[in-house]
Amino acid sequence: MLCKIRQKIQEARPKNFLYKNIFMKQIPEKAKNELDKLLQGNKNFVNGTPTAKNMCLETLKKYAFHQEPYAVVLTCSDSRVVPEIIFDCGIGELFVVRVAGMTTGPNVVESVEYAVKKLQVPLLILLGHDDCGVMKYAKEHYPEPMREFSSILKCVYPVLDKKEDISCHNFFAQEHTRWVEDYLMKHSVITNEAVKNGDLYIAKCHFDHSTGLVELI
């Protein structure tokens, strides 16, 4: 039922809804510019008009001994979720952290922190997606003891602990994205301070496989 409601809401929105989101006004200018760029890149991807040019050996040579990404993307390992393609980006533009189910843990937290502190990216994208296998697996087995994939499920079950009645995998994935933001703010001093100081903005997003659109949530 929730999936059908979500679909109707999406169909009722104008196609440029994402690019005129009212919350964009609250984003620090530098992060807003980068988010605008990524959303436009996603629009290019959806329209079949990619413009990324930094995808050749010459570009790689340019960044052979340094990197200057303008955003860090934390997302799932799913083979259908490829940030560089979805956002129409080239080599050196995104610092990407991929792990099954966009789950968290020390290595993930510190990977994000490295991008924030050492590379000074102004934007963190949390990118959930439709039809996530981890969300499906969790729904099917909750609240069974975590025998397999325990380190993954322990990052997903907390959402079900609060909202066990979630029936739509995609809505579940969006709730998990919000949980990941809370987790990072509570467990990463570097990330927390950067957000509070206005040096970092966290954009919670959801990727729709059927349309190719990235939606701000």
pLDDT at 29 over 60: yes
Average of per-residue pLDDT values in the chain:
88
- Asked if the structure places residue 5 within a domain, the reply is no
Say if 142 falls within a structural domain: yes
Q: What is the pLDDT of residues 121-149, one digit of tens each?
A: 999 999 999 999 999 999 898 988 888 99
Residue 138 forms part of a structural domain: yes
**Whether pLDDT at 169 is above 90:** no
Please state the domain count of the chain.
Answer: 1
Quickly list H helices, 55-162.
57-62, 83-86, 106-117, 133-141, 150-153, 157-162
**Domain extent for 79:** 29-209
- The CATH number of residue 42's host domain is 3.40.1050.10
Whether residue 145 is contained in a domain is answered as yes
14 inside domain: no
Q: Report if residue 59 sits inside a domain.
A: yes
pTM: 0.87
